[in-house]
Each structure stands twice: as structure tokens, then as C-alpha cells.
Amino acid sequence: MQNTTKLLAMLLALSVSLAAQGGSDTKGKFFFKKSCKACHAAGGSAKEITPLSKTQAQWKAYFAAGKHKKGAEKLDGVVKPEQIKDIQTFLTNHASDSPQPETCGG
């Protein structure tokens, strides 16, 4: 009985920490527009990027690697590290093969 209680407590703690890791779609959209679109817009200094630029798996892999400019720098040097999770959530949620693909205003 005691073991079951311990196990339940552990599972609860685990699910809470997993939930905390999930970023915010809404905040991610805001940060993406503000931070990434500064360069990655049509006519900007880098090629245009939208959530549709990659599939969900590709965005996941991109953020897992955490590299930017073909590995020349780290992604958390480009935007504040605390914004990355939200940006990743937004891009993945609206990727080209996602249920709600989104171009983010072109």
C-alpha cells in the first residue's frame, strides 16, 4: 500500500514536470514574430521562414540540435533561452504536416 502511494506521488511529480516543459503556443508565436522574423521575413536579411518551412519531426530535430546558421552558432545565442521552448512549441504545432498548419502572415 505504501509503495503504491509512493509510486503515485512519483507519477504525479513526473507529469507535472513534463507539463512544465511544454511551451506556450501563443507566446511562441509572439516571440517568433518578434525575434526570428526580424531576419527571416520576405525581403529580410535571411531567407523567409514560417512554421510550414519544416515538418513536425524536422522542427523537433532542429531544436534538439539547438544550432543556428548551419551550426555556426547556437540557437540560444540568437534569442533568449527562455523563449526557445515557446518558439519550438509554436513552430511544431503549426508545421507543414501538423493538424493546424500556419504561415504566420507569410
Read off the C-alpha cell for 103: 504561415
CB of 97 to ligand HEC, least distance (A): 16
What is the distance between the terminal CA atoms of the chain, rounded to a whole angstrom?
Answer: 57
Residue 60 in the binding site for ligand HEC (CB under 6 A): no
The span from the CA of 18 to the CA of 16, in Å, is: 5
Q: In this structure, what C-alpha cell is assigned to residue 67?
A: 544550432
Residues in contact with ligand HEC, shown as a per-residue x/- string from 19 to 58 under the rule CB under 6 A:
----------------xx-xxx----xxx-x---------
In single-letter form, the type of residue at position 83 comes to Q
In the list 70, 99, 100, 106, the residue contacting ligand HEC (rule: CB under 6 A) is 70
Size of the site for ligand HEC (CB under 6 A): 16
14 forms part of the interface with ligand HEC (CB under 6 A): no
Residue pair 53/104 in contact by the 8 Å Cβ criterion: no
Interface with ligand HEC (CB under 6 A), residue from 41, 50, 87, 94: 87
